[in-house]
Amino acid sequence: MSGETIRDRLSALSRAELVALIGVVAVTLAGAGTWYLRSLPKPVEVRAAPEQPPAPAPGATPSPAAVILVDVAGWVRRPGVYEFADGARVIDAVQAAGGARPGAFLQNLAALLVDCTQILVPKEGAPPPAALGGEVGGGSAPGGLVNVNAATAAELETLPGVGEVIAQAIVDYRTENGPFTAVDQLLDVSGIGDATLENIRELVTV
């Protein structure tokens, strides 16, 4: 037996034994290949860190927001002078004052607040004192002038030459662009020309 070669031994095997041997060898080789592949070094995934917002420059300070001071009076829970950011509305002033008391008459809560003015919330059925301004969002001003930044559409219609369409155009303009800064700015409102402006110039204020 010692002199037999591998070829002699293989030729002595039956067909079934030869197939089984080949299968054992194939399984052994497959296992060795798998072990070899697993032993190879794996690439490391490198992920970029999320971008951080730029830090403010040393000594830099944010621009202060515009401040509006408004006196909230009348039928509210906590009357007083309150501070608001530019763009605040009458409803913000009423809420800052603790909200309206039961029986308060509220209107035009969407009107923009104007610096150094008063928001007077009257009681239902009681006319507001003329010296204190007008109703919530009212456009009455000292001297009987109509404040085009606070007047309701109905109040604007009391002006000569200003009908329903132009009054609503004034309200829409200040809502989209902010309060008027000068009476002459009314010329930017659709429907108001030089003649109309001259008719109301002495009757309005900003």
pLDDT digits (tens, 9 = 90+) for 102-112: 888 887 888 88
- Residue with token string 């913000």: 92
Q: Which helix (H) or strand (E) holds 192?
A: none
pLDDT for the residue numbered 1: 46
Tally: H helices and E strands in the chain? 6, 5
pLDDT digits (tens, 9 = 90+) for 156-201: 888 888 889 999 999 999 988 888 988 999 999 999 999 889 888 8
pLDDT digits (tens, 9 = 90+) for 88-103: 999 999 999 999 888 8
pLDDT at 206 > cutoff 60: yes
pLDDT for the residue numbered 82: 92
pLDDT digits (tens, 9 = 90+) for 25-68: 777 777 776 766 666 665 544 444 345 556 666 665 655 567 88
pLDDT at 134 > cutoff 50: no
* Alpha helices per DSSP H over 6-89: 6-12, 15-39
Q: Which two tokens stand for residue 42?
A: 């794996």
pLDDT for the residue numbered 145: 80
Ramachandran assignment for 82, one of left (phi > 0), alpha (psi -120 to 50 degrees), beta (any other): beta
pLDDT for the residue numbered 95: 92
What DSSP character marks residue 109?
A: T
pLDDT digits (tens, 9 = 90+) for 143-157: 468 889 888 888 888
